[in-house]
């Protein structure tokens, strides 16, 4: 009795509340949750997933292996040493639902030369996991984090100091999509679905030029270009702004595909620099510009803004067939530096939405507008 009385006299409601938290946590230990291995796929594709979660929270196991290698980043064949995840720039996208746990195995193979880690913008604590995932060549690490924020997010390497931007602008970034368990909603709470989804990782590269030849410099040794590349980085003027690791990589044979009537989600990620996606000939029917699925989507946008260090999601239902261009609507970055993709859409043309009334025809002398112009 005495003991009980002492306890009650000391306890505020707040203290009681805190006393119950450890019990609640131990009763729902994630260790007992079902485990799903998510096969990582190369961008612009997303791993198989359900828009609405099936069943309760799960542990989603994923594996990322760091790649350091030289790739070609433009149509001229400029060679640049990139750092990627799973041999890909950008790294693959991870998809889960709120309440799931992401269990990442990060491997830094022995043949690599640098320290690497992962900072997940979707995760909570320890620099987004960056402080718990720093691995030297030849090491691996496993981290588990709970998805509590619905949205699309970037992840990137952040090994400290100037190495943070250096690794990010060498391609070491990717994206995570955390869907609400009940799926996406419009502003009225009605479900929003998509038939297919693409993930566009936009990348700025800073490649120095050799002033004597005017050509981009190539560095064969891992650390050789550091001071030269840093000089270009400090100008904040990228030499290349590309989708999916190199200019033209989502065009022609590798164009994104869709059919009239299909709703397509585009996840657009940029870990370092602002961008502004736009679909020429279409719109953003639904857009989450800063990526948060807790906010109602904006509707019918022509162009949307993605601040550097963020991802955005948009959904468009294609209404006309043809070749669309999906780009960063800084048109210099799109058409000269490389930030554009093609979407080939099959289906039947709708004359009601657009029709050419007269094909290009020579203007005649009796054309009234022509005569007005001549008389001036
Ligand atoms: Cu790194
Ligand atoms: Cu970051």
**Is residue 283 flagged as an active site residue?**
no
pLDDT at position 374 = 62
Q: What average pLDDT score do residues 229-250 get?
A: 97
**Is residue 156 flagged as an active site residue?**
yes
Q: How confident is the model at residue 368 (pLDDT cuts 50, 70, 90)?
A: low
Catalytic residue, from 63, 74, 100, 167: name it: 167
Catalytic residue, from 119, 202, 285, 333: name it: 119
Mean pLDDT, the chain, integer? 92
pLDDT at position 1 = 36
The model's pTM is 0.90
**Is residue 167 flagged as an active site residue?**
yes
From the CA of 172, how far away is ligand 1's center (Å)?
6
Q: Which uninterrupted H or E stretch holds 332? A: helix 331-332
3-state SS assignment for residue 220: coil
**Is residue 329 flagged as an active site residue?**
yes
From the CA of 173, how far away is ligand 2's center (Å)?
9
The answer to whether residue 23 scores a pLDDT higher than 60 is no
Catalytic residue, from 63, 97, 133, 172: name it: 172
Q: How confident is the model at residue 371 (pLDDT cuts 50, 70, 90)?
A: low
pLDDT at position 17 = 35
The answer to whether residue 153 scores a pLDDT higher than 60 is yes
Distance between CA atoms of residues 19 and 15, nearest Å: 6
92 touches 174 (CB < 8 A)? yes
From the CA of 366, how far away is ligand 2's center (Å)?
64
Cβ-Cβ contacts under 8 Å for 162 (sequence gap 6 or more): 230
From the CA of 46, how far away is ligand 2's center (Å)?
21
Distance between CA atoms of residues 289 and 92, nearest Å: 21
Over residues 297-335, the pLDDT tens digits come to 999 999 999 999 999 999 999 999 999 999 999 999 999
Nearest ligand, CA of residue 309?
2
> Which of these ranges, 8-22, 283-297, 318-332, has the smallest mean pLDDT?
8-22
pLDDT at position 365 = 75
Cβ-Cβ contacts under 8 Å for 123 (sequence gap 6 or more): 102, 129, 145
pLDDT at position 3 = 38
Q: How confident is the model at residue 213 (pLDDT cuts 50, 70, 90)?
A: very high
**Is residue 119 flagged as an active site residue?**
yes
**Is residue 278 flagged as an active site residue?**
yes
CATH hierarchy code of domain 30-182: 2.60.40.420
From the CA of 165, how far away is ligand 2's center (Å)?
10
**Is residue 303 flagged as an active site residue?**
yes
Judged by phi (left if over 0) then psi (alpha if -120 to 50, else beta), residue 255 lies in beta
**Is residue 68 flagged as an active site residue?**
no
From the CA of 234, how far away is ligand 1's center (Å)?
19
Q: What average pLDDT score do residues 157-172 get?
A: 97
**Is residue 121 flagged as an active site residue?**
yes
Nearest ligand, CA of residue 270?
2
pLDDT at position 364 = 86
The answer to whether residue 8 scores a pLDDT higher than 80 is no
Q: How confident is the model at residue 4 (pLDDT cuts 50, 70, 90)?
A: very low
Distance between CA atoms of residues 238 and 271, nearest Å: 14
Polymer length in residues for the chain: 376
Task: For 17, list phi and psi in degrees, rounded to 5.
Answer: -55, -45
For the chain, what are the domain ranges?
30-182
Catalytic residue, from 295, 302, 346, 367: name it: 302
From the CA of 66, how far away is ligand 2's center (Å)?
18
């Amino acid at each position: 009795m005495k003991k009980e009385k002492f306890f009650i006299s000391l306890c505020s409601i707040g203290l009681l509340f805190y006393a119950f938290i450890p019990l609640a946590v131990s009763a729902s230990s994630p260790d007992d949750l079902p485990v799903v291995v998510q096969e990582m796929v190369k961008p612009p594709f997303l791993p198989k997933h359900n828009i609405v979660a099936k069943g309760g929270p799960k542990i989603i196991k994923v594996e990322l292996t760091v790649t350091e290698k030289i790739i070609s980043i433009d149509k001229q064949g400029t060679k640049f040493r990139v750092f990627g995840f799973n041999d890909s720039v950008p790294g693959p996208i991870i998809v889960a639902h709120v309440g799931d746990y992401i269990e990442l195995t990060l491997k830094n193979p022995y043949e690599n030369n640098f320290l690497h880690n992962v900072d997940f913008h979707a995760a909570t604590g320890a620099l987004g996991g960056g402080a718990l995932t720093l691995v030297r060549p030849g090491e691996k690490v496993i981290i588990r984090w709970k998805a509590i924020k619905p949205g699309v997010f970037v992840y990137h390497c952040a090994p400290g100091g100037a190495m943070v931007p250096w690794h990010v602008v060498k391609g070491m970034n990717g994206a995570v999509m955390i869907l609400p368990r009940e799926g996406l909603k419009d502003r009225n709470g009605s479900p929003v679905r998509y038939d297919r989804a693409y993930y566009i990782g936009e990348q700025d590269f800073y490649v120095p030029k050799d002033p004597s030849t005017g050509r981009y410099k190539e560095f064969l040794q891992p650390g050789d270009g550091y001071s030269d590349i840093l000089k270009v980085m400090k100008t904040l003027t990228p030499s290349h702004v590309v989708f999916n690791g190199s200019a033209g990589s989502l065009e022609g044979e590798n164009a994104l595909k869709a059919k009239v009537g299909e709703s397509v989600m585009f996840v657009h990620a940029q870990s370092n620099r602002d961008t502004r996606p736009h679909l020429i000939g279409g719109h953003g029917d639904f857009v989450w510009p800063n990526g948060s699925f807790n906010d109602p989507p904006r509707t019918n946008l022509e162009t949307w803004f993605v601040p550097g260090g963020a991802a955005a999601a948009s959904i468009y239902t294609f209404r006309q067939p043809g070749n669309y261009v999906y780009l960063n609507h800084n048109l210099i970055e799109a058409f000269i530096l490389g930030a554009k993709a093609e979407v080939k859409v099959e289906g039947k043309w709708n004359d009601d939405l657009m029709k050419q009334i007269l094909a290009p025809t020579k203007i005649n002398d009796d054309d009234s507008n022509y005569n007005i112009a001549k008389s001036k």
